[in-house]
Chains A and B, each alone.
Chain A
């Protein structure tokens, strides 16, 4: 817009131009930032509020929105008295520990090794470990089915071959193991896939944490005659604490929301003895197969409470001190 000489020299700009700049100054930022809020309200906030509303209704999707019936807290009490819900929660907890703990126990030393010893190959090694994290779950499932298959699987073929090796043969089973069809093997099999998938991600987190530690500290330590283990124990571990807190929190939340791996590996059914049925899977089943949207919604809020409580405990236990750097 061209401003007239009069207005540019005058003490007060003409009203129209002033209105425009006023508008630009006061409201334009809101318009520029609005796409985020519009999208957030539609795809973020609305589903959450709707889900909260739904958790107090009895509703079969497919009957139309008008057919909702208010049932108070019945959906919540139904879940809390449902043995399958508790079983799914137990499975989720076991799987979260079984798959979460090894991820970190593997990722920290791996990150340390990559950071310290494989400087030149750092990018390549990181990429290789990170690959499972970005691989499509469908591709993963095809591969792991081929590995785990009872009759035709590679793992069983390998174990059988090892069984026939003299001397060490006794250590390996003679019978084929039904990895996904026998109760006691379902959870370890799922955990293995989860560990394989997310260790690289955690390694990357720890690697970035390691890179943030000032080199001077290690130099000072070596001047003082510290061994490699001592540097790791007294410098690396304490300074890695904030990133450990982040990584553990992410694993905790992710682990309690485990869905894809158990769902695909057990064909959506939960596997033998329902040992692979996680709470999110049960929630999905309640909604999709049972058409019980209200109960499924209530289940999601119950799981939210569990995740919230455990995250709080995690925060109290080592988050706060780690974040505040009290060490």
Chain B
């Protein structure tokens, strides 16, 4: 009898629950930047089916504005959204302090999904003391994009070109010679960035080791090689000296069709086909990075600020956006954002050819590349170190300093700031 009473009581409660929560419909907010806002908007109908009692308000700001607003909200403790998107470049910065919820802890227990994600994504959002401040959603597996027509004219095959950095340079000279007025690469510094980001020892960060010791210096083979290869490219007059991606010279070189190769995340294809190199459809193709290296170009994350009063709903939304395979495929279809969730990348769409790349099945290549990307340990002082290393690389490239001197000075400058 008592058991029956308990069961019936439970049934009544269960029956009453949905109506009770239907009366208290919750509105949560999510702060995003373009194009991630289109991904979220496309995801909402599916999310509402699972959580009919939640309404999501999308607050979209321009990329830099979004991160500035988030910085302000976290520093003053007011004004953050329930869910906040964070780009890869900002993760280390926001991981400092306690502004973002540690989702590795209960009730979130984000660690249980770790094996479902591309391996390098989780460590990017984890602090040195093991907290996890954000959930990965998309990634940028790196590729060497190349103009197949230009390589063909020079009699160079993409596979022989990307064997090593030496063969990249040697074959690059042939390509530039066969295509007058063209450049092998927008900026020599890009090669250095890839070499710096690959071949790291386990537990080693880009610029600091686990104990916070500065790794930059003439005694570090990784830095010496990165600087040397970049200098070889510059000296062989192979680069357009365009500086960083999306600079005016970079854009112009693309639009004029003066570039033979470019290293970037898979997302570059979207830019190329929409505006950057519209006229060269079918002429570009994709290949792995030189020397059997694999690197990542950015990626986005979702986090929950401590200020949020709707953490449960916020986590439900994040979980839906990141761990739901159908949703991650939808995101890929919406903006071309490459999924961080491994099962999503196994969808049939990833076996289809990419029309812009002349029907090449490049997504398979990117998926395999993504699995081989090694995690990088992030350090709070990475932005400072990166700036100093880039400045010192520039002095090597313009010939005002040699590799050893530049690296010695850079190491000293970074150590000065690391306290």
Contacts and interface: CB of A to CB of B under 8 A. Distances in A.
Contact of A267 (B244, B383, B391, B398): B244
A72 interface: no
A270, A285, A291 — which one has the most chain B CB atoms within 10 A of its CB? A291
A311 to B, nearest CB: 31
Contacts of A178: 241
A182 interface: yes
A183 B398 contact: yes
A269 B390 CA distance: 9
A289 B74 contact: no
A182 B96 CA distance: 37
Interface string A244-281: 00000000000000000000000101101110000000
Contacts of A211: none
Interface stretch (A39-47, A63-71, A214-222): A63-71
Contacts, number: 90
A84 interface: yes
Interface string B70-111: 111011110000000000000001101111000000000000
B58 interface: no
B224 interface: no
A270 to B, nearest CB: 7
A29 interface: no
B335 interface: no
A289 B247 CA distance: 19
Contacts of A150: 241, 249
A69 to B, nearest CB: 12
Contacts of B249: 149-152
B98 A63 contact: yes
A289 B252 contact: no
A61 interface: yes
B332 to A, nearest CB: 31
B77 A274 contact: no
Interface string B349-389: 00000000000000000000000000000001001100100
A82 B419 CA distance: 14
A290 interface: yes
Nearest to A74: B419
A274 B258 CA distance: 28
Interface residues of A, number: 33
A67 B97 CA distance: 8
Nearest to A286: B384
Contact of A289 (B243, B384, B398): B384
Contacts of B417: 290
B387 A289 contact: yes
Interface in B380-419: 380, 383-384, 387, 390-391, 394-395, 398, 400, 413, 416-417
A142 B72 CA distance: 30
Interface in A137-195: 142, 145-146, 149-152, 178, 181-183
Nearest to B73: A62
Tell me the interface secondary structure of chain B in the complex: helix
A149 B252 contact: yes
Contacts of B253: 151-152
Contacts of A82: 416
Contact of B94 (A62, A151, A269, A292): A62
B99 A64 contact: yes
Contacts of A60: 93, 96-97, 380
B98 A64 contact: yes
Interface in B95-131: 96-99
B258 to A, nearest CB: 8
Contacts of B70: 62
Q: How large is the interface on B (under 10, 10 to 19, 20 to 34, 35 or more residues)?
A: 35 or more
A83 interface: yes
Contacts of B241: 150, 178, 181
A183 B397 CA distance: 11
Interface string B43-83: 00000000000000000000000000011101111000000
Given A63-B74, A64-B74, A273 B394 contact: yes
A145 B248 contact: yes
A274 B390 CA distance: 11
Contacts of A290: 383-384, 387, 417
Contacts of A152: 249, 252-253, 256
A285 B388 CA distance: 12
Interface in B252-269: 252-253, 256, 258
B401 to A, nearest CB: 9
A132 to B, nearest CB: 20
B77 A291 contact: no
A138 to B, nearest CB: 12
Contacts of A83: 413
A65, A178, A181, A292 — which one has the most chain B CB atoms within 10 A of its CB? A181
A182 B398 contact: yes
A150 B394 CA distance: 16
A187 to B, nearest CB: 15
A82 B383 CA distance: 17
A68 to B, nearest CB: 10
A272 B248 CA distance: 16
B248 to A, nearest CB: 4
B167 to A, nearest CB: 26
Given A64-B99, A152-B256, A267 B243 contact: yes
A62, A63, A182, A291 — which one has the most chain B CB atoms within 10 A of its CB? A62
Contacts of B400: 183, 273
A82 B388 CA distance: 12
A148 to B, nearest CB: 9
B77 A270 contact: no
B229 interface: no
Contact of A61 (B71, B243, B391): B71
Contacts of A142: 248
A81 B415 CA distance: 13
A76 to B, nearest CB: 15
A140 B398 CA distance: 27
A178 B74 CA distance: 42
B81 to A, nearest CB: 15
14 contacts: A60-B96, A61-B75, A62-B74, A65-B75, A65-B77, A67-B97, A151-B249, A151-B252, A152-B249, A269-B390, A269-B391, A273-B394, A274-B391, A290-B417
Given A64-B76, A149-B252, A273-B400, 13 more contacts: A60-B97, A61-B74, A62-B99, A63-B99, A64-B75, A64-B77, A146-B248, A151-B249, A152-B253, A181-B241, A269-B243, A269-B391, A291-B380
